[in-house]
Amino acid sequence: MSQNDFLHLMPLLILTFAALLIMLVIAAWRNHKIIYVITAISFVAAFLSLFELRAVTEYTIEPLLVIDGFAVFYMGLMLATALLISMLSYAYFEQQKEQKEEYYILLILATLGACVLVISKHFASLFLGLEVLSVALYALISYLRVRERSDEAGIKYLILAAFSSAFLLFGMALVYFSTGTMTFEGIAAAMSGYRELPMLLLAGFGMMIIGIGFKLSVVPFHMWTPDVYEGAPAPVTAFVATVSKGGVLGLLIRFFMEVDGFRYPTLMLIFTIVAIASMFAGNLLALMQQNVKRILAYSSISHLGYLLVAFLAGSQMGVEAVTFYLVAYFITTVGAFGVIAMLSDNSRDAEQMDDFRGLLWRRPWTATAFTAMLLSLAGIPLTAGFVGKFYVLAAGMNTQKWLLVSMLVLNSVIGLYYYIKIIAVMFQQPDTEKEPAVKLRPSIYIASVGTLAVLTLLLVWVGVYPTALVDMIQGMFAEVPALVAR
């Protein structure tokens, strides 16, 4: 490898070095605060190293990786989100009885796997990044071993993820057999002469869609989502809902843009059905839930359906809309689960409706922040979620995806109900017969409060003044060849 290769891989090298350093420190001395500081510094250093790559047009490390504006933006988004989640995790795990230090190794490795996904241009690097992410998630989800539901969630994710990886590998094998190559550009060249996909190649893509669909938790591959969200620790749930899905979605965008999969009606029909089914199933199932974590789980399924509307637009505007919506979704989701983490104690997470009853009167600032997050998820004006949803609608209408646009509008109205239901519970008068201190944390950690304050400010700022983020996305994507071609 050349010096330039090392420079362009610096964010990944920093994360790898940080994981090794934490293992050595744990072997010598267990200290939660020191391990957390090392983790936070590593995420900050990896994020800052991306500023050296801002001006890069396209740098390839043959045959596996490509670093361009698209990759830099997505890596920056995931590193910043992982930093915020690590801050929430410090406050959350400070009161847990489990050994806490190994958690941060797993968090760093999962982030590393997600970053590898968005710079992959080869099936080998794709599968390597996906497995690094998945294996770390197996342990993260079941990290709190004293909780039965945590073990159950980890086992369910492990079994279903193994099945999805098998489908993905079989699909890759069929695509390789049909095209004779595993690089994205090689597959694109082999497909350039096809008006309709051959049956074997279509079967390969279908199996890959199953594997990717599981990671994105879209219908009909969503069965694991509510149980895993409910059983995992609140910060881990936030990671699964954001960084994990963001890495896979970035990979999906790059692959489809590279091979121009949008010109094949069969693939577009499959994604259209998945998008509509995800929107309806996510929202309708969320209406029947009383557990806040499960509500947010089914909500995430519907939001992936919304994202697929912009993805199916297949244009540069569509990719920009997906990215903007993803930023808004990351802010609101991490903020929502941050509130749950703040209200949790060492025996259970604050996930029942009763845990939020009268929260406005007990913790007005926390309730205000949670209300803002929920309104953003619902797409109410002056929030980041509203602008993101508007951008997605504009991308859909620009390419005349009228069916998808109408389904998005209808489902946004349905989804409003269960978000308002949670807000209404927070605004109720508190139960004077119940001692609130039983279910609330003994103190508010600075990391949690600071993270929640930053996320709330970002939520409002992006909602009121989205131009800065739009310009940043357009500037980073302007020189990406696959996007310019669209």
pLDDT band at 29 (very low <50, low <70, confident <90, very high): confident
Average pLDDT over residues 401-407: 89
pLDDT band at 149 (very low <50, low <70, confident <90, very high): confident
pLDDT for position 148: 77
What does the alpha-carbon distance between residue 324 and residue 387 come to, in Å, rounded to a whole number?
9
Average pLDDT over residues 414-426: 90
pLDDT for position 94: 80
CB 165 within 8 A of CB 207: no
pLDDT at 442 over 60: no
pLDDT in tens, 79-90: 999 999 998 888
Residue 408 token pair? 């998005």
Average pLDDT over residues 398-427: 89
Question: 123-141 vs 245-259: helix axis angle to the nearest 10?
Answer: 160
What does the alpha-carbon distance between residue 296 and residue 339 come to, in Å, rounded to a whole number?
13
Better-scored residue on pLDDT, 368 or 347: 368
CB 314 within 8 A of CB 486: yes
Better-scored residue on pLDDT, 41 or 474: 41
Q: Which amino acid is at 336?
A: A
Angular region, 27: left φ>0, alpha ψ -120 to 50, beta rest: alpha
pLDDT at 444 over 50: no
pLDDT in tens, 281-294: 999 999 988 888 99
Question: What are the Cα distances from residue 179, in Å, to 193, 197, 482?
Answer: 12, 11, 20
Q: Using CA atoms of 270, 276, 279, 284 in order, give the dihedral in degrees to the nearest 10.
A: -120
CB 276 within 8 A of CB 401: no
What DSSP line would sit under 170-230, residue for residue?
Answer: HHHHHHHHHHS--BHHHHHHHHTT-SS--HHHHHHHHHHHHHHHHHHT-TTS-TTHHHHHH
Better-scored residue on pLDDT, 46 or 351: 46
Highest-scoring range by mean pLDDT, 5-9, 252-256, 437-441? 252-256
pLDDT at 28 over 60: yes
Share in percent of the chain as helix, strand, coil (round to 5): 80, 5, 20
